[in-house]
Chains A and B, each alone.
Chain A
């Protein structure tokens, strides 16, 4: 009734907010372009709220806080295929758990027990809950099929309260050793290498020891695959909880010391430390100089310990790495990497960008639009490869006189060959031309390689760089930090004056360089497009029947994108609907140190949109989660672009729980 009223209210107005419900259960919200938003927000906001209130007078827009079943840890974090493994899952509000959901036929799981546990929270990575419900321990038996593909499998528990967050369970080919409590200071003996070790730093100050035989000349590698909390990808992303500790590795030699026979000498000194939020490997390599029994010790920085602190590491000999840490599939869907040094700025990158901006004729099927995939059969057109110059840097090119001439657009492949190496290129621009410069580091990544890109004019004046300086933010000590600097993977510049310019690439420190310091740099015209879309604070939905849940979506408008953005959910179960609100507001980019620069050319304008997901009172309860898909669709000059998948999210419709009623 109300929906049709709304439809009627805004029909015939291109810039309107409207709701469209189709038999396919696809619901779409149009978000106004920015310039029109200001005039109409005053109308839409009260109307939207009024609509919600009239339609569901007993249901608040923001769902009542219900005891969400939540997983905090998994131990062990994985197993070898072809084996059966018993896994302990810990979390909150798991008392009514009835099944395990892994979305794979290769793994068969069975819940063996659900028991409450009464441990203090300690420094566990779980966030403080508002209620004092006990923690639960769920024992699950998982049969891993011998043919199960190796990799990470999202694992969730399902209960009457809904579906939990996902933890990642790894299936490997190699033998897995599960740490057990060994009495005294004894170490667990590893039968052979390679081996995957599943351990847990359950108590503060705990050090787990593993002994194994090694031969002189053997090259050993040890690498942490997942640190405590590493299986909590969803939670870490969405709950801003305290970071769990970092794992420390130490390899000890075969003999005790003269002063203390129980004290072995540490022999591994090249461990790379991990650092959050910049994730690096905690990995060490060592060439054995003396055959004997070595010991690997695993502890945490400053001795943090908790039963939730599971870790996973691999110990192997030689170059063959049993488990590749990089390149695992992200079980929760991919994020848009437009502002990452990792995206591939190859020849078809322009098509990818245009698929997020323009009409269907410019969408390429040659490559996905990175945010999941383009919806099949809807807006895909035949591939249309752009002609784009490919240039390769060659030395010497440190100075402007040695610069290689490149055209626009073009992709340059180069390497910072050594400390202090500068690669220089020249290019021609037209007056008023606005260009984007994007750089990718395909091999050595941040923070080891920090490519500095700068453009200088014919008079050797530096026009701009990819170093972005903000002002008036505060560091963690509450002290004002006037000019925090960031290195940007993309920078856009509007050239008022045409002519010849020079592009220079080097490492920001001038102390690093070498064969791995490779980069790909794309010079192209500006392409306004939709950037990263973030569904804030949501990893899964447990909708209580008869209630609504408010969601916030942040949409980055890259390179002065001024079109509209439509959102849609696909695969909603019966009785679940998607409603608009009008809480749309823009978040201005940070204030820049250089006031002459248009901030939009440095960082995207971010638009936040609030929408509501509603489970009608009559909606059937779901017994298992259902994957729904959030998609976006750019609309420019009234023409819709491709529908792009933002994220797949498990959803359940649940009844009001007894716990909540209490």
Chain B
């Protein structure tokens, strides 16, 4: 038996030689991609006006117009600032600033724009007299507070407000905003009662002395800086309101005209570095009219290093890249995506598309003048698709077989084989177990854990439609296995708010948690919405003897037909209410979770969250990223693609395998990781394959596979003293009862939250790679791949080939092979030791530990 010191010495030698081999591998030059060259054309092709046909309601109504020019490189550039605007009849109205028309009289009018000898026309109809809207605090004052950024999460719209003054984010709660302004007092999280002395922000006796005017004009100290000038239109409107006694006015809706939604133009655009783009924001009113509110909203750039935006919605490209401009109006937020390019490509190549994914991805790449990488080679594709669909490395024989095959449909055939493989069930069972949180119950009972895990894995194996999986989990009742989730969460029944928030995160990809205690600072969710949705779970009960779960609200145990759920702030009973404000009728209180499950799985959020989450597994990032963080301040990079994927997913019965097949069959997925000059900086537009670290369990299985040595796992004592069967894979283990220092170091998910693990590199990983037993002891273990090859009498050449195929799914390049053989020749007397070092170097390499 080898002594401890002998083992340490052996490991040291392996590491020393291995480091040299790593250097060889690292220093190997990668094949360079070709960068597309080209300059934008100079010749303007045409110009057009946006909007082209518009109706303005009443004299004084206004509309801003954009002049867009088409160029040979395919880009549309905003030429509004350099264009000349003319109207057909000066009595009908006038142009007051760049492209802004103000109606002077009813009737039709033609607007003409001219630029460099080209012209475009738009038709304007000034119709009737606009009905004067009754005053509404929410609309009229709320619009100023929103446009001036007073109610953002960084200002008074934060959780507790600023300096004792609280406003709801984006006028989410106008009644409370009104109270804080008119009555004063300090906001409290857990009570609707105001704290502290009540100092109104307005002064009815001396309106000009109102804090609501003094602070934003910096007439007194204001940490939030100057928001508007004294005597500006906004100043005068607020002053006028105070002078009239500061009424609340009408609720928007019943009598007045409410804003149903807002839209921005252009939704997606491309600007050359240093160029500008004017945004147009239009409100859709409840009376069917449209209104230009470009100058009444608040603009925020998600990345000011890329885009700057002024208060009129004029965007300036400050740096290359892509980001979003958020547009906030009272109760509404939209975003516009703007890409900034350094230089354009005139002769953009024609791209082949396999399916709609490619068409939509290519469309954006074309807009951004990014040329995608070539299709990956067979070896690159094989490794990637095997890891993505099965979490498993292909064995060397299969690599040779696949590469040798001349079958043009071999990639599609392989995809089907992998989708039907038991390893697919292993990997996606593991993936969904992370998401749906299969953990050993803290109650210490094996049965619930296994029953719940079986449900997850069997659902994957049977390719159960995803909406059915979701319904079963959301409305888990009776003795059905998914109801164990409600127990697993906390050992006994979890609290309704925790279960609700988690189900929303998992199935809607949205995080409502913040709204448990206060309005969501970065999204549109209110505390009332949070508790309204929580009320669906308020009746969750478990029978002690059979652990049967039921969700009936009211009745029975609760003869007063109460939900038993009290709003923590208002102290009022909460009834089950969908996010859109619809209350669950009492006759459906017998099965509230069934109603919730039906509503959730038919909501657009459901499909888009599902496809985004699956998509992120294949590309390393979601179309919305992080994949479960949909919010108005985190818009999708490819909204059209997201919508198309969601529609396709719905149209195919929420078939997860269909979704995966569609993704991996696309050329977008099959792109090479080798970049070109146009896409080397791109990380969000899927122009090339990005390297992604393997999850801890996948990496551990990959090491076992490459070395040919199975991992010996131990169960935590919670499991009752049993042992895992031999040959079990890391991804078949439940994390909190599977003891594994390796997977702990590599950031596996312990499933305390519905997120996958964090495989980001750490110092611990580096140390483990150098000295950890997983990397070192497997290499020379009897019965392992190296020992078998040596016993079989394989040459060094064959062994190198075999390990490259087993670990990297490729043959060594001729340079690699030559250098390694030379390396071995120099250490001829230490052949086995050197080969062990080679294996160590391979499984320690970045190429091995990543999917790319």
Say whether B559 contacts A462, CB under 8 Å. yes
Say whether A123 contacts B722, CB under 8 Å. yes
Contacts of B547 in A (CB 8 A): 275, 447
Say whether B556 contacts A465, CB under 8 Å. yes
Contacts of B444 in A (CB 8 A): 476
A509-B548 contact in complex given A204-B722, A257-B422, A303-B725, C-beta closer than 8 Å: yes
Closest 7 interchain pairs by CB? A303-B722, A205-B723, A484-B544, A447-B546, A204-B723, A304-B722, A302-B719
Name A486's contact: one of B386, B446, B543 (CB within 8 Å).
B543
- What is the distance, in angstroms, from A556's C-beta to the closest C-beta of chain B? 17
In this complex, what residue of A is CB-closest to B479?
A447
Question: Is A359 in the interface zone, CB < 8 Å from B?
Answer: no
A446 to B549, CA, bound (A): 12
Question: Is A233 in the interface zone, CB < 8 Å from B?
Answer: no
Question: Is A349 in the interface zone, CB < 8 Å from B?
Answer: no
A265-B421 contact in complex given A258-B398, A450-B478, C-beta closer than 8 Å: yes
Say whether B492 contacts A475, CB under 8 Å. yes
A301-B543 contact in complex given A266-B461, A447-B548, A509-B550, C-beta closer than 8 Å: no
Contacts of B418 in A (CB 8 A): 258-259
Question: Is B812 in the interface zone, CB < 8 Å from A?
Answer: no
A278 to B719, CA, bound (A): 20
A259-B720 contact in complex given A206-B725, A265-B420, A486-B544, C-beta closer than 8 Å: no
A452-B556 contact in complex given A486-B545, A511-B591, C-beta closer than 8 Å: yes
- What is the distance, in angstroms, from A587's C-beta to the closest C-beta of chain B? 18
Contacts of B386 in A (CB 8 A): 259
- Some 30 contacts from A to B, beta carbons below 8 A apart, are A123-B722, A205-B725, A206-B725, A245-B722, A257-B422, A257-B423, A258-B417, A259-B418, A259-B421, A259-B423, A266-B425, A269-B458, A299-B725, A302-B446, A303-B722, A303-B724, A304-B720, A304-B721, A450-B478, A450-B548, A450-B550, A462-B555, A476-B444, A477-B491, A481-B544, A486-B544, A508-B548, A508-B552, A509-B477, A511-B475
Give A460-486 as 1s and 0s: 1 = Cβ < 8 Å from B's Cβ atoms: 011001010110000111010101111
Say whether A508 contacts B550, CB under 8 Å. yes
Say whether B590 contacts A245, CB under 8 Å. no
Question: Is B763 in the interface zone, CB < 8 Å from A?
Answer: no
A204 to B425, CA, bound (A): 25
Say whether A205 contacts B724, CB under 8 Å. yes
A122-B721 contact in complex given A301-B447, A487-B545, C-beta closer than 8 Å: yes
A485 to B493, CA, bound (A): 13
Give B434-450 as 1s and 0s: 1 = Cβ < 8 Å from A's Cβ atoms: 00000000111111001
Say whether A303 contacts B394, CB under 8 Å. no
A261 to B594, CA, bound (A): 43
A260-B720 contact in complex given A273-B450, A477-B492, C-beta closer than 8 Å: no
Say whether B723 contacts A511, CB under 8 Å. no
In this complex, what residue of A is CB-closest to B460?
A269
Contacts of A476 in B (CB 8 A): 443-445
- What is the distance, in angstroms, from B101's C-beta to the closest C-beta of chain A? 60
Known: A305-B723, A476-B443, A479-B491. 11 other contacts (CB 8 A): A123-B722, A205-B723, A245-B722, A273-B481, A276-B447, A301-B722, A476-B444, A484-B544, A486-B544, A487-B543, A511-B478
Contacts of A539 in B (CB 8 A): none
Contacts of B722 in A (CB 8 A): 123, 204-205, 245, 300-305
Question: Is A336 in the interface zone, CB < 8 Å from B?
Answer: no
Question: Is A420 in the interface zone, CB < 8 Å from B?
Answer: yes
CB-contacts of B686-709 with A (<8 A): none
Question: Is B158 in the interface zone, CB < 8 Å from A?
Answer: no
Contacts of A271 in B (CB 8 A): 454
Question: Is B243 in the interface zone, CB < 8 Å from A?
Answer: no
Say whether A269 contacts B544, CB under 8 Å. no
Contacts of A275 in B (CB 8 A): 447, 451, 547
The number of chain B residues with a CB under 8 A from chain A is: 61
Question: Is A510 in the interface zone, CB < 8 Å from B?
Answer: yes
Say whether B725 contacts A273, CB under 8 Å. no
A497 to B398, CA, bound (A): 81
Question: Is A246 in the interface zone, CB < 8 Å from B?
Answer: yes
Say whether B395 contacts A260, CB under 8 Å. yes
Contacts of B542 in A (CB 8 A): 485
CB-contacts of B584-629 with A (<8 A): 590-591, 594
- What is the distance, in angstroms, from B429's C-beta to the closest C-beta of chain A? 10
- What is the distance, in angstroms, from A592's C-beta to the closest C-beta of chain B? 12
In this complex, what residue of B is CB-closest to A463?
B559
A residues engaging B (CB < 8 A)?
Answer: 122-123, 185, 204-207, 245-246, 248, 257-260, 263-266, 269-271, 273, 275-276, 278, 299-305, 419-420, 446-448, 450, 452, 454, 461-462, 465, 467, 469-470, 475-477, 479, 481, 483-487, 507-512
A263 to B423, CA, bound (A): 9
B residues engaging A (CB < 8 A)?
Answer: 386, 390, 392, 394-395, 398, 417-418, 420-423, 425, 442-447, 450-451, 454, 458, 461-462, 475, 477-479, 481, 491-492, 541-552, 555-557, 559, 590-591, 594, 715, 719-726, 737
- What is the distance, in angstroms, from A654's C-beta to the closest C-beta of chain B? 35
- What is the distance, in angstroms, from A79's C-beta to the closest C-beta of chain B? 29
Interface residue SS majority, chain B: loop
A305 to B537, CA, bound (A): 40
Contacts of A265 in B (CB 8 A): 420-422, 425
- What is the distance, in angstroms, from B581's C-beta to the closest C-beta of chain A? 25
In this complex, what residue of B is CB-closest to A203?
B723
Contacts of A207 in B (CB 8 A): 725
Say whether B477 contacts A481, CB under 8 Å. no
- What is the distance, in angstroms, from B432's C-beta to the closest C-beta of chain A? 14
- What is the distance, in angstroms, from B496's C-beta to the closest C-beta of chain A? 15
- What is the distance, in angstroms, from A183's C-beta to the closest C-beta of chain B? 14
Contacts of A276 in B (CB 8 A): 447
A470 to B726, CA, bound (A): 46
Contacts of B462 in A (CB 8 A): 269
Name B557's contact: one of A258, A302, A304, A469 (CB within 8 Å).
A469
Say whether A461 contacts B556, CB under 8 Å. no
Say whether B591 contacts A419, CB under 8 Å. yes
- What is the distance, in angstroms, from B721's C-beta to the closest C-beta of chain A? 4
Say whether A273 contacts B447, CB under 8 Å. yes
Contacts of A204 in B (CB 8 A): 721-723
- What is the distance, in angstroms, from A644's C-beta to the closest C-beta of chain B? 27
- What is the distance, in angstroms, from A225's C-beta to the closest C-beta of chain B? 19
A417 to B422, CA, bound (A): 39
Contacts of B420 in A (CB 8 A): 265
Name A273's contact: one of B390, B417, B423, B451 (CB within 8 Å).
B451
A302-B737 contact in complex given A123-B722, A260-B395, A477-B492, C-beta closer than 8 Å: yes
- What is the distance, in angstroms, from A283's C-beta to the closest C-beta of chain B? 14
- Which of B442, B552, B556 gathers the greatest number of chain A CB atoms within 10 Å? B556
- What is the distance, in angstroms, from B318's C-beta to the closest C-beta of chain A? 49
Say whether B726 contacts A467, CB under 8 Å. no
- What is the distance, in angstroms, from B115's C-beta to the closest C-beta of chain A? 62
In this complex, what residue of A is CB-closest to B426?
A263
- What is the distance, in angstroms, from A242's C-beta to the closest C-beta of chain B? 8
Say whether B715 contacts A278, CB under 8 Å. no
- What is the distance, in angstroms, from B259's C-beta to the closest C-beta of chain A? 40
A475 to B418, CA, bound (A): 45
A301 to B591, CA, bound (A): 33
Name B446's contact: one of A246, A448, A511, A512 (CB within 8 Å).
A246
Contacts of B559 in A (CB 8 A): 461-462
Say whether A259 contacts B394, CB under 8 Å. yes
Say whether B557 contacts A448, CB under 8 Å. no
In this complex, what residue of B is CB-closest to A469?
B557
- Which of A447, A462, A510 gathers the greatest number of chain B CB atoms within 10 Å? A510
A258 to B418, CA, bound (A): 8
Contacts of B543 in A (CB 8 A): 447, 450, 485-487, 508
A303 to B724, CA, bound (A): 5
Say whether B422 contacts A278, CB under 8 Å. no
Say whether A454 contacts B556, CB under 8 Å. yes
- Which of A299, A303, A304 gathers the greatest number of chain B CB atoms within 10 Å? A303
A205 to B421, CA, bound (A): 24
